[in-house]
Structure 1
Amino acid sequence: MGESKQQKLTLFALTWPIFIEIMLHMLMGNADTLMLSQYSDHAVAAVGVANQIISVIIVMFGFVAAGASILVAQNLGANQPTTAGRIAVTSISLNLWFSLFLSIGLYLFSENILVMMDLPNEIMGEANTYMAIVGGFIFVQALIMTVAAILRSYGFTKDTMYVTIAMNIVNVVGNYFVIFGPFGFPILGVEGVAYSTMISRFLGFVALLLILIKRSNKQLPFTSFFKYKKEHVKDLLGIGVPSAGEQLSYNGSQMVITYFIAQLGTVALTTKVYVQNIMMFILLFSIAIGQGSQILIGHMIGAGEVEKAYKRCIKSLQISIIISTVAAVIVYFSSDFLLGIFTEDTTIIEKGALLLLVTIILEPGRAFNLVVINCLRATGDVKFPVFVGILSMWGVSVTFAWFFGIVLDLGLIGVWIGFIADEWLRGIIMLHRWRSKVWIRKAFVKKEKSTV
Structure 2
Amino acid sequence: MTTEKNKFTLWVLAWPIFIELTLQLLLGTVDTLMVSRVSDDAVAVVGLSNQLFQALTTLFMTVASGAGILIAQKLGARKAEDARTVAIMAVKVSAVIGMLLSIVLHFGARPLAQVFQLEERLLPLADTYISIVGGGMVLTALMASLSTVIRNTGNTKGPMITALGMNVIHVFFNYGFIFGSYGFPKLGLTGVAISTLVSRLLATGFLLFMFTSAFDRKIQFMDWRIFHRKLFGEVLKIGWPLGVNMSSYVFTQLAMYTFLAMLGAKELATRTYMNTLESSCSMLGFALSLAMQIQIAHLYGGGRIREAYKSSYRGLWIGLGLATGSSVILLLVSKQYLGIFTADPEIITLGLSCIAMNLLLQPGKMLNMGIGSALNAVGDTRYNMYISIGSMWMVAAGLSYLLGIHLSWGLMGIYVAMICDEYLRGVLVLYRWRGQKFLRKGLPSSEASSVSQGPGTTAQA
Query: Is TM (by shorter chain) over 0.5?
Result: yes
Q: Residue 423 of structure 1 aligns with which residue?
A: 422
Amino acid in structure 1 at the alignment position of 2:98 = S
Amino acid in structure 2 at the alignment position of 1:130 = Y
**Are residues 1:60 and 2:59 paired?**
yes
Deviations, residues 294-316 of structure 1 (Å, cap 9, x unaligned): 11001100110111111111111
Asked if the contact 2:312/2:371 (under 8 Å) is kept, the reply is yes
Question: Given the superposition, is the C-alpha separation of residues 142 and 6 from structure 1 closer, same or farther in structure 2, using an over 3 Å criterion?
Answer: farther
Q: Residue 457 of structure 2 aligns with which residue?
A: none
Q: Residue 260 of structure 2 aligns with which residue?
A: 261
1:292-441, aligned counterparts within 5 Å? 292-441=291-440
Distance 2:276 2:295 in 1: 29
Give me the TM-score of the superposition, normalised by structure 1: 0.95
Instruction: Report % sequence identity.
Output: 35
Give me the TM-score of the superposition, normalised by structure 2: 0.94
1:121-160, aligned counterparts within 5 Å? 121-160=120-159
Distance 2:277 2:337 in 1: 8
Amino acid in structure 2 at the alignment position of 1:37 = S
Asked if the contact 1:62/1:145 (under 8 Å) is kept, the reply is yes
1:186-265, aligned counterparts within 5 Å? 186-220=185-219, 223-265=222-264
Deviations, residues 145-184 of structure 1 (Å, cap 9, x unaligned): 1111111111111111011000000000000011000144
Distance 1:338 1:259 in 2: 26
Moved more, 272-281 or 225-234: 225-234
Moved more, 82-91 or 216-225: 216-225
Distance 2:51 2:421 in 1: 19
Count of matched residue positions in the alignment of Structure 1 and Structure 2: 444
Distance 1:303 1:230 in 2: 23
Deviation at 1:220, TM superposition (A): 3.8
Deviations, residues 24-73 of structure 1 (Å, cap 9, x unaligned): 11221221111011121111111111111011111221111101110110
Distance 2:295 2:17 in 1: 13
Deviations, residues 212-250 of structure 1 (Å, cap 9, x unaligned): 223434254654422311112111111111112111111
Amino acid in structure 1 at the alignment position of 2:148 = A
Distance 1:8 1:187 in 2: 46
Q: Residue 71 of structure 1 aligns with which residue?
A: 70
**Are residues 1:167 and 2:166 paired?**
yes
Distance 2:235 2:138 in 1: 19
Amino acid in structure 2 at the alignment position of 1:179 = I
Distance 2:402 2:333 in 1: 30
Distance 1:133 1:171 in 2: 15
RMSD: 1.6
Distance 2:207 2:35 in 1: 28
**Are residues 1:50 and 2:49 paired?**
yes
Asked if the contact 2:14/2:290 (under 8 Å) is kept, the reply is yes
**Are residues 1:11 and 2:4 paired?**
no
**Are residues 1:89 and 2:74 paired?**
no
Amino acid in structure 1 at the alignment position of 2:38 = Y
Deviation at 1:441, TM superposition (A): 3.4
Asked if the contact 2:252/2:393 (under 8 Å) is kept, the reply is yes
Deviations, residues 311-369 of structure 1 (Å, cap 9, x unaligned): 11111111111111111111111110111110011111111011100110111000011
Q: Residue 286 of structure 2 aligns with which residue?
A: 287
Asked if the contact 2:212/2:218 (under 8 Å) is kept, the reply is no
Structure 2 residue runs of 5 or longer lacking an equivalent are 445-461
Amino acid in structure 2 at the alignment position of 1:10 = T
Amino acid in structure 2 at the alignment position of 1:153 = N
Asked if the contact 2:86/2:231 (under 8 Å) is kept, the reply is yes
Deviation at 1:113, TM superposition (A): 1.2
Q: Residue 23 of structure 1 aligns with which residue?
A: 22
